[in-house]
Amino acid sequence: MHFTADAVLLDIEGTISSIAFVRNVLFAYSRERMADFIVDHRSDPAVDAILADASALAASDDPVAVLARWQDRDEKAPPLKKLQGLIWESGYRTGAFRSSLFPDALAALQRWKAAGVPLYVYSSGSVQAQDLFFQYNEAGDLRPMFSGFFDTDMGAKTASASYVAIARQIGIEPGRLVFFSDNPDELSAARGAALQVAHVVKEHAGDTRFPAILGFSNIEIIRDV
């Protein structure tokens, strides 16, 4: 399968990396440490801002309880994602865990990068969490492969406007951007913004609305020059 495009936009969880790592390693790590982390860092302006944002978003005067509830429900709330990124930083830096990519995904990214295709990431995890994910990877520091990272500060991943905004920030027409994700709702939103899409079905059933790929080995990105 091939796509004619000027850039690639990638989801992470379930697309280029295992869902199990995110849910069983990263989420478990932050869940165990969240309450203590907030207590230990209440004087940190970044944490104070997260708590204020959580209170405002949930209309609650108990942001700690709100954040814990969001985490239990795997809500994509920006304040939670930013706090998780701060907590995961300590785990990465102390060597508690390393991230990994599917081998065929890593090989494809390296191949596309070598061919001059700009690579971008759009994840519900914060930009900081994405940066850490690719810095502390079993394959080494992969950050130089990417031209930019986007999170839900751009908008919800299920909203077409988010993909329009990303294409605008990259500086290309939406139709010249191809988005890879395992989530049909995200793909539907991206298609609604005129992006090209591919449904990665490594860990999910396929959706007949979208072209499905089992892996990246035979996926080519062709740029018009």
CATH no. of 2-17+99-222: 3.40.50.1000
Would you say 28 and 140 are in contact if contact means Cβ atoms under 8 Å apart? no
Q: Where in the chain is the domain with CATH 1.10.720?
A: 21-93
Q: What is the pLDDT of residue 76?
A: 81
Residues 6+ apart with CB under 8 A from 36: none
Distance between CA atoms of residues 143 and 123, nearest Å: 15
**What CATH topology corresponds to 21-93?**
1.10.720
The two three-digit tokens of residue 20, written as one number: 């199990």
What average pLDDT values come out for the chain (225 residues) when binned by 10 residues? 95 94 90 91 91 89 89 87 90 94 97 96 92 96 97 95 98 97 96 97 79 92 81
Concatenating the DSSP letter of every residue in 95-138 gives TS--B---HHHHHHHHHHHHTT--EEEE-SS-HHHHHHHHHSBT
Distance between CA atoms of residues 199 and 86, nearest Å: 30
Q: What is the pLDDT of residue 111?
A: 96
Q: Where in the chain is the domain with CATH 3.40.50.1000?
A: 2-17+99-222
Q: What is the largest CA-CA distance in the chain?
A: 55
Would you say 198 and 221 are in contact if contact means Cβ atoms under 8 Å apart? no
Q: What is the pLDDT of residue 120?
A: 98
Identify the bridge partners of residue 119 per DSSP, sorted by sequence position: 8
How buried is 171 (Cβ within 10 angstroms: 0-12 exposed, 13-18 middle, 19+ buried)? exposed
Distance between CA atoms of residues 5 and 175, nearest Å: 8
The two three-digit tokens of residue 99, written as one number: 């991230």
